Structure 1
Amino acid sequence: MKIVKKAIIPAAGLGTRFLPATKAMPKEMLPIVDRPTIEYIVEEAILSGIEDIIIVTGKGKRAIEDHFDRNFELEQHLKEKGKLDLLEKVNKSSNVNIHYIRQKEPKGLGHAIWCARKFIGNEPFAVLLGDDIVQANVPCTKQLIAQYEQTGSSIIGVQHVSYEETERYGIIDPINNKDRVYRVRKFIEKPKLGSAPSNLAIMGRYVLTPEIFTFLECQEAGAGGEIQLTDAIQKLNEIQQVYAYNFDGKRFDVGEKLGFILTTIEFALHNEELASDVRKMLQRFQNNSSKSTLLEGIH
């Protein structure tokens, strides 16, 4: 069995939920405190043992390539100023073996994965989506790789969501489970509200066998008129058992505005430099809000 050493990070989306900020800046470069979201994803891949990463980009995404490139002028400036801690952080994001390919048309996640097929070849690979940041003692992707090494099959990362949220996600129809590993009857992309067979949602982490490209090659449009990865996974599941794994860790949704704001606040509360001031500010907001409520009641 081949070892998982390659990963795909799709980053070609238009980021319409964050317009107008993403008109000129890739949504993957929006910062959580002081680090762009995509850096958290790349770091997880590296900590999971991934050696080669391919980022699937699109038009206007050059800033991602620049971020993971060397900036000798900046590095020299930081060195001269004695800002060695910042220099270390800057170098950390450039010492990564990253490749790039463009998705020339916005045809969906499945198509973005298909674009990287020549880079992957005949090897198993990981996929990490940038809308989800996962904090865990053992990196999420590493957990999935460990399960792949036990089963020899594709495995999809899932967690529970409320049934009201199931229409936003790919959902699994589980047959049974053992030690957080589920055999799956069916993978369903964004089921209509009230029709989901479970509340176990696909959370943007996958380890897939190369056979998935056979089904992505068909280029069949699914939900939203796009080529959906979940549809291809279901077809793969019909000929080769695909498992789901309820991974351990806290998942942060940074793909929509409220989740992005809440994630930024929580990460700031764990930042040594900012935590104290942020707590004071939040307490001040809470006190002001309570006073406003009291005054509204009086009037």
Structure 2
Amino acid sequence: MHAYEKFGDVYIVDVSPGNLKGIISSFIVVDNKVTVIEPGPAKEYSKLSKALSDLNLRPEIIVATHVHLDHAGSTGHLLRDYPNSIAYIHPKGVKHVVDPSQLWEAANKFSKLLADNYGKPISADEKRVLHVEDYSEIKIGYHTLKFVYTPGHASHHMSILLYPENIIFTGDSAGGIFNFKNGKVYAITSPTPFKPIQYLESLEKMKTFNPKYIAPTHYGIHDNGTEYLKIGIERTKIWLDIISDDLQSGIDDVEKITEHLMNVDEDFRKAVNENIQFFTKGYLLESVMGMINAIKNGDYKK
């Protein structure tokens, strides 16, 4: 059983922490210039490395949607092991790929559980870590990569469109889509410091490309790309409004707020009921907290 699956010219590699499955994906685009989108966590680099070795592929292009440890953690490892490779990163993220020490320190403060599960990135040669402009493109052969800045989840976030298939790799800019026992579940990813207005603007911006497929890092590639972006907008607004109402009426208890969200968001209820501690604590509750903090900071007015 391989830890990867094929979708046209793209391989989806499962780089989820430890024995977990279907939580974090890394993508390999096979073309004249083999491209890795989302290197994944440093601690799980061996899974990506094995897939590249099994497929006899040597990446030349490395792209991370943003520099959080579960997305860009293995960038330095890939640059080390493939000396002809170049990494393309959002301008605000470049310094953190070159020297990840500040990022590692911040990640440990934010959540030791997540940092321990993702592992510590290694530094990279600054000459091989390049920044990309909004709407810029790179031709890798038959395929073209288009970079689109999508802040909100993080200031250093971008999404990547792959043509001609019209797949949008959304990182954390459009939530996650998981295949759980009870079916497909959409989950918001809005940890602190979440910027709701920018996040909604980014979803609208991505929608203008009318993507056929959506590939969130959490997890896989799915049909109905544009529909999922619309779901992202609707669901985010529902969450923001419910949390705003709760805070307005003096409800500040995370458990109570979570309960209210579970009552209106069936996907959220299903996700919590999966009872995967790493997922519930690491994604779902951090997303609720991110929205609470954003509203308290005045970043969203109903």
The structure having more radius of gyration, on CA atoms, is 1
**TM-score calculated relative to the size of structure 1:** 0.26
**TM-score calculated relative to the size of structure 2:** 0.26
Higher relative contact order (CA 8 A, sep 6+): 1
